[in-house]
Amino acid sequence: MKTLINLLTALILAFTVISCGKNDTALVVTKEHPQEERVELTGDQYAMAGIEIGGVETKNLSLVVKVNGMLDSPPQNVVSVSPRLGGYVRSTMLLQGLRVRKGQVLAVLEHQDIVMLQQEFLETSSRLEFAEAEFKRQEALQKENINAAKTFQQSATEYKSLLARLSALRQRLLLIGINPDKLTESSMSAAYSLVAPMDGYVTEVNITLGKFVSPNDVVCRIVNTSHIHIELMVFERDAPKLREGQRVRFTLVNDPQERTAKIYLIGREITQERTVRVHAHLDNENGRLLPNTALQALIELGEQSVSAVPDAAIVNAGGKDYIFVMLADEQQTAHHSFERVEVRRGAVAGGFTEVLLPEKFNKESKIVVKGAYSLLSAMQAGEGGDEHGH
């Protein structure tokens, strides 16, 4: 009796599978292992999907790596302008985008400390004249052994102290653009001019009339665009392929014109985004290019022998890339079964994409080179059904 029940159960299950097979949209998706997914098509479905079979090829490709990046200026071409001596903004002509020349007045600052600095310089200068004369007199007396050695030493100390102080005050005046050699009691002023330290364009303005700015404040930023380079963010998997001197072709997001550069430096640190920063110099400098402009680039790696498949053979699902492999033992049956295998993309060139295959992948396997997205759609539709993919 038990044997009869088992036989009837097997017949019912077989009938259920055959009934499902009569449906034109029938497919079977199996997940025997977590990393192995299969899809099965009938002969009619296979023909309608327009599937073509090929294989993984070994190609000598002029490979490129596609990356993103931006234009940048070297640190020596960017300057933050701060006042040497604090003051209130009396006048300014600063505007973002304004082109300035080295030595051009950016703003005029005024403060009573500026007057006091000039006053101290003039007073120290007068005292130094007297101290110098006294030092020379005591020096002459010392040679004749007329005065005490202590008196001579005191005069020498006073003279040297004032000499050092005057030198320091001179440098402070020069820093704010006041010529100490032309300074007189009648030429003293409560204002001084803040000037541009280099040629460039104003990219940031942080002052308004009447605002007090200290030496810790950044009045404006100036960028010299005469030398612009590009900074590229290359994924860590592609970093070992890079070499200094490799050619870079790139386009800006706001300009379709293709430009070229050469890799100059390759970073030695991987960022939190798993990228390496690559520095490249433009072949043709252009002063009109703006720093921080986004760009897309192709780094030419040269010709290499790699495993590659037609671009259409790779599909993307859930952020991962896959190819479909035809199961060898079912190629001659009425049904066609395929296994979805995860791969990693490499470089792209001439309609082919380099693929990094799983370790145990058999390169003799037949793969789907056309119609892979039809299989992906069928698989996703099957996953949306019941446990048997009906």
Give pLDDT tens digits for 248-290: 999 998 888 899 999 999 999 888 889 999 999 999 887 778 8
Amino acid identity for residue 302 in this structure: G
Least confident stretch, 37-46, 68-77, 113-122, 161-170: 37-46
Looking at residues 157-168, what average pLDDT do you find?
A: 91
Mean pLDDT taken over the chain: 83
1 band by pLDDT with thresholds 50, 70 and 90: very low
Q: What is the pLDDT of residue 384?
A: 57
Q: Which residues pair with 107 in a beta bridge?
A: 92, 194
* pLDDT of residue 24 exceeding 50: no
Q: What is the pLDDT of residue 265?
A: 93
161 band by pLDDT with thresholds 50, 70 and 90: very high
Residue of 110 and 25 predicted with greater confidence: 110
Q: Could you report the per-residue pLDDT of 298-316, keeping only the tens digit for each? A: 998 877 788 999 999 999 9
Least confident stretch, 79-93, 102-116, 342-356: 342-356
Least confident stretch, 8-17, 31-40, 346-355: 8-17
Alpha-carbon distance 80 to 90, whole Å? 20
Least confident stretch, 56-60, 266-270, 329-333: 329-333
Q: What is the pLDDT of residue 329?
A: 54
Q: What is the pLDDT of residue 254?
A: 85
Within 8 A by CB and 6+ apart from 92, the residues are 106, 107, 108, 207, 209
CB of 353 closer than 8 Å to CB of 367: no
Within 8 A by CB and 6+ apart from 79, the residues are 197, 198, 200, 221, 222
**What is the Rg, in whole angstroms, of the alpha carbon atoms belonging to the chain?**
39
Q: Could you report the per-residue pLDDT of 220-238, keeping only the tens digit for each? A: 999 988 888 999 999 988 8
142 band by pLDDT with thresholds 50, 70 and 90: confident
Highest-confidence range of 58-62, 105-109, 316-320, by mean pLDDT?
A: 105-109
* pLDDT of residue 328 exceeding 80: no
CB of 338 closer than 8 Å to CB of 326: yes
* pLDDT of residue 27 exceeding 50: no
